């Protein structure tokens, strides 16, 4: 809640005004039954029609004032709640974009999404309900009891006697329904997870003919969600009838006791009628207040989830600059005994070292899960290394501001994505590049060949997730995107895996001829893609099991030679076909 205070403050005056209006409306509502009592008990017996009209008019006025102030205040409450929620959502979103990769791993993406959507919605409901009923409820409750006390203490006893019964019912039912509600939310999360997995994995599921199995899995979560909903429904279904029953019993009791009081002349019929109204007002106020409690417990839980993200520490600190440390010679990119673990259980990288001069190419090869992409993640400082140092031009990357650091890179990630925009915008990526630069990048990435064939050429639209392009075409656009800004360091993580051999070879030739000053880190599965690299790093289970040129590795690294022989055996034919 303290975290939310910052957002409430700007609306302080506005909310105060809302509360004043709510206060006026509640007073008017409390006044009306006593006016009625006065008319019936004092004015009617005098048979003064004019006075009846005057007091009737006053009653009407109260009703009009009540309804206008109430409606206005409710609208204002929605406006301020909406404004505050918007500000929260805005800050939350911008904080999320700055979360580092480790923090995102911890929160998980679906949870971040639900914090942005359903949690902010809960906070919105809480803020608006608090203003709408939070003031009105207590005023009506306390005001009602005070007025009835002054009118007739004996009848008030009836009221006070039935309050604990209602309170008990409400506490029991809400206690139970809050618990069920929490379970329901968790099940909803489960269902969303199954749907997500299903939709993202739809091709695999179909390919393996698991559709029927997946449908059963969905039916299971769906059934348990429905079951919880049923239970929540049957609990809350008891709530309204039970409270109405107590309310009606209380009303009957008031009429019974009232009848005796009127008979004995202790009280007037008007008072009894007013009493019935107050009774209803007070009980409704109580129900309103309990609902506020539920709303608040939900809202506060959500507010906590939101502030967790908002207050997540910024742990990618930029360290104070130090003298450039060039180690042995003039290196552009250097890993010095780097070790790293994502979950701090076992090392995902251990003791990795390499040094690249400006314009050199590093090839990385190794089985999946061996830590190749992790090297890239550390180099771009998505995560901080646990041990060792990563240097660019002799500067520890932790001393370089993130924006400056990342501006040096052009990257194609493994499983990268394209925007649903034109090809040109995908290559430009909001960097304001000129048409010439974009075109040149497309030519170098060998994307021009198929772009020419498209309707609208550069302006042709890319579908969501690039679904209207083949894997190789997507990769070529991504490569063009990486090349377009003439990066100092180019990172290609499995970027040419879907290119045919000929295109791959031509692309590498273009790289050599046009980017001789660019330092390149190239991760690939095919040795043919890496053969020409200045250094090749062979990875296995986070360790470097070979480092050197193609020739050196063929002689000195058994695993490398094994991969080479395997690939040459199966690829000879293809390569020849490709280059024909």
Residue 103 touches ligand ADP, criterion: CB under 6 A: no
* Sole binder of ligand ADP in the list 97, 263, 315, 368 (CB under 6 A): 368
Nearer to Mg ion, 37 or 491 (CB): 491
Residue 466 touches ligand ADP, criterion: CB under 6 A: no
Residue 373 touches ligand ADP, criterion: CB under 6 A: yes
CB of 109 to ligand ADP, least distance (A): 11
Task: Give the residue closest to Mg ion by C-beta.
Answer: 373
Select from 161-169, 188-196, 366-374, 495-503 the region that touches ligand ADP (CB under 6 A).
366-374
CB of 342 to Mg ion, least distance (A): 13
131 class by beta-carbon count within 10 Å (0-12 exposed, 13-18 middle, 19+ buried): buried
Question: Cβ contacts of residue 14 below 8 Å, gap of 6+?
Answer: 76, 79, 80
**Distance (Å, rounded) from C-alpha 87 to C-alpha 121?**
13
Residue 350 touches ligand ADP, criterion: CB under 6 A: no
Select from 72-80, 174-182, 314-322, 362-370 the region that touches ligand ADP (CB under 6 A).
362-370
Nearer to ligand ADP, 502 or 543 (CB): 543
3-state secondary structure at position 364: strand
Question: Cβ contacts of residue 561 below 8 Å, gap of 6+?
Answer: 553, 554, 555
CB of 523 to ligand ADP, least distance (A): 7
**Distance (Å, rounded) from C-alpha 520 to C-alpha 185?**
48
| Residues of the shown chain interacting with Mg ion in the complex, contacts defined by CB under 5 A | 372-373, 414
Nearer to ligand ADP, 5 or 343 (CB): 343
CB of 370 to ligand ADP, least distance (A): 4
Q: Which helix (H) or strand (E) holds 568?
A: helix 558-579
Closest CA to 475 of 452, 503, 506, 440: 503
* Sole binder of ligand ADP in the list 45, 110, 359, 369 (CB under 6 A): 369
435 class by beta-carbon count within 10 Å (0-12 exposed, 13-18 middle, 19+ buried): exposed
Residue 371 contact partner, candidates Mg ion, ligand ADP, none, CB within 5 to 8 A by sort of partner: ligand ADP
3-state secondary structure at position 431: coil
Residue whose pair of structure tokens reads 């949870």 in the numeric block: 111
Nearer to ligand ADP, 44 or 316 (CB): 316
Q: CA torsion, points 180, 181, 186, 187, in degrees to nearest 10?
A: 70
* Sole binder of ligand ADP in the list 48, 105, 421, 572 (CB under 6 A): 105
And the tokens for 514? 């046009």
Going 358 to 364 to 370 to 372, the CA torsion angle's sign is: positive
CA 395 centroid distance within chain: 36
Nearer to ligand ADP, 427 or 557 (CB): 557
**Distance (Å, rounded) from C-alpha 420 to C-alpha 469?**
12
Residue 399 contact partner, candidates Mg ion, ligand ADP, none, CB within 5 to 8 A by sort of partner: none
CB of 415 to ligand ADP, least distance (A): 10
**Distance (Å, rounded) from C-alpha 412 to C-alpha 520?**
12
Q: CA torsion, points 198, 199, 203, 209, in degrees to nearest 10?
A: 30
Residue 105 contact partner, candidates Mg ion, ligand ADP, none, CB within 5 to 8 A by sort of partner: ligand ADP
Residue 446 touches ligand ADP, criterion: CB under 6 A: no
Residue 348 touches ligand ADP, criterion: CB under 6 A: yes
Confirm if 170 and 247 have CB atoms less than 8 A apart: no
CB of 523 to Mg ion, least distance (A): 7
3-state secondary structure at position 537: strand
CB of 513 to Mg ion, least distance (A): 28
Residue 370 touches ligand ADP, criterion: CB under 6 A: yes
Confirm if 29 and 73 have CB atoms less than 8 A apart: no
CB of 340 to Mg ion, least distance (A): 14
CB of 425 to ligand ADP, least distance (A): 29
Site size for ligand ADP (CB under 6 A): 12
**β-strand 409-412 against 395-396: which pairing, if any?**
unpaired
* Sole binder of ligand ADP in the list 342, 382, 413, 429 (CB under 6 A): 342
Select from 30-38, 144-152, 227-235, 367-375 the region that touches ligand ADP (CB under 6 A).
367-375
**Distance (Å, rounded) from C-alpha 432 to C-alpha 572?**
43
Residue 315 contact partner, candidates Mg ion, ligand ADP, none, CB within 5 to 8 A by sort of partner: none
CB of 542 to ligand ADP, least distance (A): 7
Read off the DSSP letter of residue 535.
E
362 class by beta-carbon count within 10 Å (0-12 exposed, 13-18 middle, 19+ buried): buried
Neighbours of 110 (CB within 10 A): 12
Residue 150 contact partner, candidates ligand ADP, Mg ion, none, CB within 5 to 8 A by sort of partner: none
Select from 15-23, 87-95, 305-313, 368-376 the region that touches ligand ADP (CB under 6 A).
368-376
Residue 199 contact partner, candidates ligand ADP, Mg ion, none, CB within 5 to 8 A by sort of partner: none
Closest CA to 224 of 236, 232, 212: 232
Nearer to ligand ADP, 346 or 452 (CB): 346
Neighbours of 408 (CB within 10 A): 19
235-264 footprint of ligand ADP as x/- string (CB under 6 A): ------------------------------
Read off the DSSP letter of residue 516.
T
CB of 374 to Mg ion, least distance (A): 8
CB of 491 to ligand ADP, least distance (A): 12
Q: CA torsion, points 319, 323, 534, 415, in degrees to nearest 10?
A: 10
Nearer to ligand ADP, 140 or 563 (CB): 563
Residue 106 touches ligand ADP, criterion: CB under 6 A: no
Nearer to Mg ion, 239 or 374 (CB): 374
Nearer to Mg ion, 29 or 494 (CB): 494
213 class by beta-carbon count within 10 Å (0-12 exposed, 13-18 middle, 19+ buried): exposed
Residue 343 contact partner, candidates ligand ADP, Mg ion, none, CB within 5 to 8 A by sort of partner: ligand ADP
Query: Given the rule CB under 6 A, which residues bind ligand ADP?
Result: 105, 342-343, 348, 366, 368-374
């Amino acid at each position: 809640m303290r975290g939310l205070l910052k957002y409430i403050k700007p609306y302080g005056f506005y909310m105060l005004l809302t509360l004043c209006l709510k206060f006026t409306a509640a007073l008017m509502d409390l006044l009306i039954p006593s006016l009625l009592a006065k008319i019936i008990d004092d004015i009617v017996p005098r048979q003064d029609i004019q006075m009846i009209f005057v007091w009737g008019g006053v009653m009407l006025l109260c009703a009009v004032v009540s309804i206008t102030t109430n409606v206005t205040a409710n609208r204002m409450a929605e406006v301020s709640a909406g404004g505050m929620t918007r500000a929260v959502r805005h800050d939350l979103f911008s904080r999320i974009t700055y979360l580092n990769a480790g923090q995102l791993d911890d929160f998980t993406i679906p949870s971040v999404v639900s914090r942005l959507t359903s949690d902010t919605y809960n906070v919105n409901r809480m803020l608006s309900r608090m203003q709408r009923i939070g003031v009105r409820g207590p005023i009506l409750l306390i005001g009602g009891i005070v007025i009835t006390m002054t009118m007739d203490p004996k009848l008030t006893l009836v009221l006070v006697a039935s309050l604990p019964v209602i309170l008990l019912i409400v506490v029991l039912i809400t206690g139970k329904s809050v618990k069920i509600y929490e379970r329901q939310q968790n099940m909803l999360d489960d269902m969303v997870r199954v749907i997500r997995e299903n939709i993202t994995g739809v091709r695999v599921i179909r390919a393996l003919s698991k559709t029927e199995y997946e449908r059963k899995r969905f039916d299971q979560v769906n059934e348990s969600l429905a079951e919880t909903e049923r239970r929540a429904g049957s609990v809350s279904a008891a709530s309204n009838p039970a409270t109405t029953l107590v309310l009606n019993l209380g009303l009957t009791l008031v009429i019974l006791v009232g009848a005796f009081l009127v008979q004995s002349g202790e009280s007037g019929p008007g008072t009894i009628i007013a009493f019935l109204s107050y009774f209803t007002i007070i009980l409704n106020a109580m129900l309103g207040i309990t609902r506020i409690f539920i709303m608040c417990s939900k809202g506060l839980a959500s507010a906590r989830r939101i502030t967790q993200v908002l207050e997540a520490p910024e742990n990618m600190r930029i360290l104070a600059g130090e003298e450039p440390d060039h180690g042995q010679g003039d290196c552009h990119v250097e890993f010095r005994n780097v070790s790293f673990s994502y979950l701090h259980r076992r090392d995902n990288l251990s003791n990795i070292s390499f040094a690249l001069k400006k314009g050199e190419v590093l090839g990385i090869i190794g089985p999946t899960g061996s830590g190749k992409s992790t090297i890239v993640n550390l180099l771009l400082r998505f995560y901080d290394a646990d041990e060792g140092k990563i240097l660019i031009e002799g500067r520890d990357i932790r001393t370089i501001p993130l924006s400056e650091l990342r501006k040096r890179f052009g990257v194609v990630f493994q499983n990268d994505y394209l925007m649903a925009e034109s090809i040109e915008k995908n290559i430009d990526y909001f960097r304001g590049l000129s048409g010439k630069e974009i075109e040149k990048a497309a030519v170098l990435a060998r994307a021009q060949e198929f772009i020419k064939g498209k309707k609208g050429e550069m302006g042709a639209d890319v579908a969501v997730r690039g679904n209207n392009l083949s894997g190789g075409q997507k990769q070529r656009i991504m490569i063009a995107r990486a090349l377009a800004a003439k990066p100092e360091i180019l990172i290609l993580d499995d970027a040419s895996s879907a290119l045919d051999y000929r295109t791959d070879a031509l692309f590498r030739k273009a790289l050599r001829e046009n980017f001789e000053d660019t330092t390149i880190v190239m991760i690939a599965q095919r040795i043919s893609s890496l053969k020409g690299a200045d250094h090749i790093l062979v990875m296995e289970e986070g360790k470097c099991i070979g480092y050197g040129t193609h020739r050196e590795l063929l002689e000195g690294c058994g695993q490398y030679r094994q991969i080479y022989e395997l690939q040459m055996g199966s690829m000879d034919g293809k390569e020849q076909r490709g280059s024909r």
